[in-house]
Amino acid sequence: MISVGTLLKDYLERNKISQSEFAEMYNMSKKHVNEILSGKTGISLDTLILISLITGDDLNVLVHFNEHKKTEDELNKMFKSEKEIKEYLTSLNLYDMEKNNWLKLRHKEDYVTSYMDYKKFCKTTDINSFFTYTKNNYLYKEVGEKDLIKVALWIAHCNNLIEGIEVPKYSSSNLDKLFKELEIERTKEFNKDNLIKIFNKYGIILVIEEPLKGTKVRGVTHVKIDTPVIYMNTYYKNISSFYFALYHELGHLKTHFNMLKSKTVVHSDDMEDEMDEFGLDKMIPKKIYDELNNNNVNVEDICNKNNIPLSFYYSRLAYEGKISYNSKKLLDSHKKIQL
């Protein structure tokens, strides 16, 4: 592959400039110039800028070549063969990310550039630091390294999607307004884009995005400075399961706002039961749920009167083990959604 050294060497040869003369002209040691030309050293940004000015080569191109060399050296120190490197990239889900159109590999046949593309996606120069950060800052029960990597990449993908999105300033009072509007929205035909607009209106960024295959995550909640963000996956097939997870995440926002400025809640055993109860209550308040469970009441009328989808009630009964998830009443009431 073309390198910074070969470009500089071509320039010197074309212009009849010796290595010694070049070193003297630009106050470099002869040894350092030789190392640059032979590709034995990393090159500082100041030197890259100088070479760009001298040769007329695009600085971005020189930076790419320099980074490629550094990355190649890094991988060769970590692994003994190209096969091991490709297995490592596979373990990082690089090619699954490409299939999901999360990133485009510039030169798929060049594993070094692919690794550079991966680091760019993660916005890091050190993959180990990236995953160390996730371990330290994601509240996530231990389910294995592989799943944590997938979750971290999904969150990184969602973070990339929201860059540039501006929403009004969030206030805790916005939640009550949002809950009121959701009571109406949930009775309508499911509209993903409209739901996102509603959240944005109240200062909350909502993303509904497909995770990597096999990822065990319902949703995550975080606060970026003062702006809440909620990421939901696309596994949900009906509105009752979707809203249960969505209200669960909103429960984290309502209860743990300040903590969410430094931690991202993915799944925490200490909080999940409490947030599930919050979600159930937002779907059907306790007073109404008790009324629905009385004998000789028209369940459908009560649900319609209170803007409660009928599937919310039967899903609650199934959740509590009072009916089967295969119950005809539940299956008939389900409003399917396509995410």
Length of the chain in terms of residues written: 339
Mean pLDDT over 107-129 rounds to: 91
Q: What is the pLDDT of residues 209-234, one digit of tens each?
A: 999 998 888 899 999 999 999 999 99
Q: Starting from the edge strand earliest in sequence, which strands make up the sheet with 138-140, in order?
A: 138-140, 264-267, 219-224, 227-232, 205-208
pLDDT tens for each residue of 56-79: 999 999 998 899 988 998 999 999
| CA–CA dist 57, 52 (Å, integer) | 5
| Pairwise CA distance, residues 27 & 265, whole Å | 53
| pLDDT greater than 80 at residue 87 | yes
In this structure, which topology does domain 1-76 adopt according to CATH? 434 Repressor (Amino-terminal Domain) (1.10.260)
Report the alpha-carbon distance of residue 140 to residue 269 in Å, rounded.
8
The two beta strands, 219-224 and 138-140, are: unpaired
Residue spans per domain, the chain: 1-76, 173-333
Q: pLDDT per residue over 302-322, tens digit each? A: 999 999 999 999 999 999 999
User: What pTM value is reported for the model?
Assistant: 0.85
Run of H or E including 68? helix 59-78
What is the pLDDT confidence band of residue 208, given thresholds at 50, 70 and 90?
Answer: very high
- The average pLDDT across 1-20 equals 88
Q: How far, in Å, CA of 242 to CA of 223, rounded?
A: 21
Q: What is the pLDDT of residue 295?
A: 75
pLDDT score at 247: 97
Q: How many whole angstroms separate alpha carbon 318 and alpha carbon 44?
A: 63
More confident residue, 36 or 2: 36
- As a dihedral over the C-alpha atoms of residue 210, residue 212, residue 216, residue 220, rounded to 10 degrees, the angle is -50
**H or E stretch including 118?**
helix 111-122
- Percent of the chain past pLDDT 90, that is, above it, reads 68
Share of the chain above pLDDT 70, in %: 97
pLDDT per residue as tens digits for the range 246-280? 999 999 999 999 999 988 877 766 788 899 999 99
